[in-house]
C-alpha cells in the first residue's frame, strides 16, 4: 500500500505478483497507475473516460491486452494476462469473482 492506495500483491514466497506505479496528485486521494508490472513485465495502462483500464501496452509499444466491459463491470473480452486492475482500475478478486472498491466489493 501507498497510504490508502493498494499498489501490489506478493505470492506466498514473498515475490511480487503484480505492482502498479501511481501518479502523484497533490491534495487528492485518487491516483492513476502510470505503469503496471505483471509477472516481471512492465506495461503502460490506457484508461477510458470512466477510469477503466482498456489497454495494456508493452515496452515495444504493442497492445498486449484489450479490455471491454458492460455498464456493470462485467468483462466482454477474454484476457491473456493476469491483470488484477481493470474495471474502474480497481482490483478484481478472482477467488470471489468480485471487484474490490476499497471498503466494499
Q: Where are the domains of the chain?
A: 8-100
- pLDDT value, residue 42: 95
Long-range contacts of 71-74 (CB under 8 A, 24+ apart): 73/99
User: Which grid coordinates are listed for 85?
Assistant: 486492475
pLDDT tens for 7-37 read 888 889 988 888 898 887 665 556 788 999 9
pLDDT tens for 45-82 read 999 988 899 999 999 999 999 999 888 888 887 777 78
- pLDDT value, residue 28: 58
What is the dihedral sign for C-alpha 57, 90, 52, 82?
A: positive
What is the three-class DSSP state of 16?
A: strand
- Give this prediction's pTM: 0.77
- pLDDT value, residue 29: 57
- pLDDT value, residue 24: 76
Amino acid at each position: 500500500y501507498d497510504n490508502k492506495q493498494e499498489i501490489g500483491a506478493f505470492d506466498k514466497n514473498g515475490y511480487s505478483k503484480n505492482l502498479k506505479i501511481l501518479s502523484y496528485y497533490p491534495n487528492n486521494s485518487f491516483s492513476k497507475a502510470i505503469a503496471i508490472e505483471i509477472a516481471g513485465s512492465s506495461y503502460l495502462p490506457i484508461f477510458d473516460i470512466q477510469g477503466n483500464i482498456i489497454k495494456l501496452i508493452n515496452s515495444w509499444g504493442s497492445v498486449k491486452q484489450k479490455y471491454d466491459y458492460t455498464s456493470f463491470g462485467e468483462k466482454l473480452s477474454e484476457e491473456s494476462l493476469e491483470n488484477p486492475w481493470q474495471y474502474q482500475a480497481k482490483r478484481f478478486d478472482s477467488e470471489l469473482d468480485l471487484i474490490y472498491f476499497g471498503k466494499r466489493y
